[in-house]
Every structure is written in structure tokens, then in C-alpha cells.
């Protein structure tokens, strides 16, 4: 499934760099200088390091995480040759609003919630931008992320992302 992983990475970089829906979507919010593509690449490469997960789940997750923000934040279509399971995963990771995600994610498959742990932990690594939204927003998002971390540990064990999540969410 991961043949040509470097081509997938290049596709995601180009999508976020060259075709953002809004110019600000090309860069991470915290500094408006870090390429946005650093986020999905971090998510994808981090799940690949989870050697306690089955290889097929790691590979499927890596591709879903690489592409999870392409439809939300860019005008680029997903590649037609992506495996159908990855297209389904990306669709299942996508919500109308971040508020909808807070409630609807719990009805999704455990693997989708697992993939979202990587997404949310990455967001917390550069969460300084959340301060402008206020403490209620931060508290709600932190509780959500911690619940995701706990869910991942229940379903998949103490993964690296669980350890990282606990470290950044204190």
C-alpha cells in the first residue's frame, strides 16, 4: 500500500503549498511560516513508527493521515489511485465543523478515532494559536484530545502517540 510513499508526500506538499482554499491554509496557524504540510507528514510518519500496530493498519493510517486535510483545506482532489479503504478513511475523518467532530467522532470506527489521535496530538504540538480562542475553547479541546488518547490506549495499547499526547496535554 505504501509503494511510492515519497510521491504521496510530494502530492500533499504541493496540494497545501500551491492550492490552499485560503492563503493562510498554506501555513500552520502558530507562526504563519511553517508549511501546513508538516502537519499531515508528521501524523503519517508518526503512525508508521508504531511497530506494535499491525503493518496494514500503519500503512492505511499513514495514507489517510497524509490526505486527511487535502479536501478540507485545498482545492486539490484526492488521487484517483488511492485505495478505496483510504478514501473511506479520509471521508470518515472529515466533519462539517470542528464542533460536529466533538460529538460525531465517537460514532466512527476505533481506527478512525486512532487516526484522529495523531491529528489532535500534532495540533497540540503547536497549540499556541488556541490562546486567542480563550480558556473555554482550550479546556474543551484538551478534554476531547485526552479522551481520544485514552480511547486509543484502550483499543490499541500504550502507543508512542499516547505517550506524546499525555506529555503535551498536561
pLDDT digits (tens, 9 = 90+) for 97-121: 989 999 999 999 999 999 999 999 9
Confidence of residue 125 (pLDDT cuts 50, 70, 90): confident
CA quadruple 79, 82, 88, 93: dihedral sign = negative
The per-residue pLDDT for 158 is 96
Q: What is the residue extent of each domain of the chain?
A: 5-168
33 pLDDT higher than 90: no
> Stretch 76-89: mean pLDDT, rounded?
96
The runs of H, that is alpha helices, within the chain are 5-18, 38-48, 55-67, 70-73, 84-92, 98-104, 110-125, 135-156, 160-168
pLDDT tens figures, 46-65: 999 999 999 999 999 999 99
Confidence of residue 170 (pLDDT cuts 50, 70, 90): confident
The per-residue pLDDT for 10 is 97
> From the CB of residue 121, how many other CB atoms can be counted at a distance below 10 Å?
26
Taking the domain 5-168, which CATH number applies?
A: 1.10.3210.10
The per-residue pLDDT for 2 is 85
Average pLDDT, the chain: 93
The per-residue pLDDT for 24 is 79
159 pLDDT higher than 90: yes
Find all residues with CB under 8 Å of 117, minimum gap 6, and list them: 145, 148, 149, 151, 152, 161, 162, 165
Find residue 20's DSSP bridge partners.
74
The per-residue pLDDT for 106 is 98
The per-residue pLDDT for 11 is 98
The answer to whether residues 12 and 66 touch, using CB atoms and an 8 Å cutoff, is yes
The answer to whether residues 70 and 12 touch, using CB atoms and an 8 Å cutoff, is yes
> From the CB of residue 47, how many other CB atoms can be counted at a distance below 10 Å?
26
The per-residue pLDDT for 85 is 97
The answer to whether residues 61 and 29 touch, using CB atoms and an 8 Å cutoff, is no
Tell me the three state secondary structure of residue 35.
strand
> Stretch 69-86: mean pLDDT, rounded?
95
Q: What are phi and psi of 35, to 5 degrees?
A: -55, 135
Amino acid at each position: 500500500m505504501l509503494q511510492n510513499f515519497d510521491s504521496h508526500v510530494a502530492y500533499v506538499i504541493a496540494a497545501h503549498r500551491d492550492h490552499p482554499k485560503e492563503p493562510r491554509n498554506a501555513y500552520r496557524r502558530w507562526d504563519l511560516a511553517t508549511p501546513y504540510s508538516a502537519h499531515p507528514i508528521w501524523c503519517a510518519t508518526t503512525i508508521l513508527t508504531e511497530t506494535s500496530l499491525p503493518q496494514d493498519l500503519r500503512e492505511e493510517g499513514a495514507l489517510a493521515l497524509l490526505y486527511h486535510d487535502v479536501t478540507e483545506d485545498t482545492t486539490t482532489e484526492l488521487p484517483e489511485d488511492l485505495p478505496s479503504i483510504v478514501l473511506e478513511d479520509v471521508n470518515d475523518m472529515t466533519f462539517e465543523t470542528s464542533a460536529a467532530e466533538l460529538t460525531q467522532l465517537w460514532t466512527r470506527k476505533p481506527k478512525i478515532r486512532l487516526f484522529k489521535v495523531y491529528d489532535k496530538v500534532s495540533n497540540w504540538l503547536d497549540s499556541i494559536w488556541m490562546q486567542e480562542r480563550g480558556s473555554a475553547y482550550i479546556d474543551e479541546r484538551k478534554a476531547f484530545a485526552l479522551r481520544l488518547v485514552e480511547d486509543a490506549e484502550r483499543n490499541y495499547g500504550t502507543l508512542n502517540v499516547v505517550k506524546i499526547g499525555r506529555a503535551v496535554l498536561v
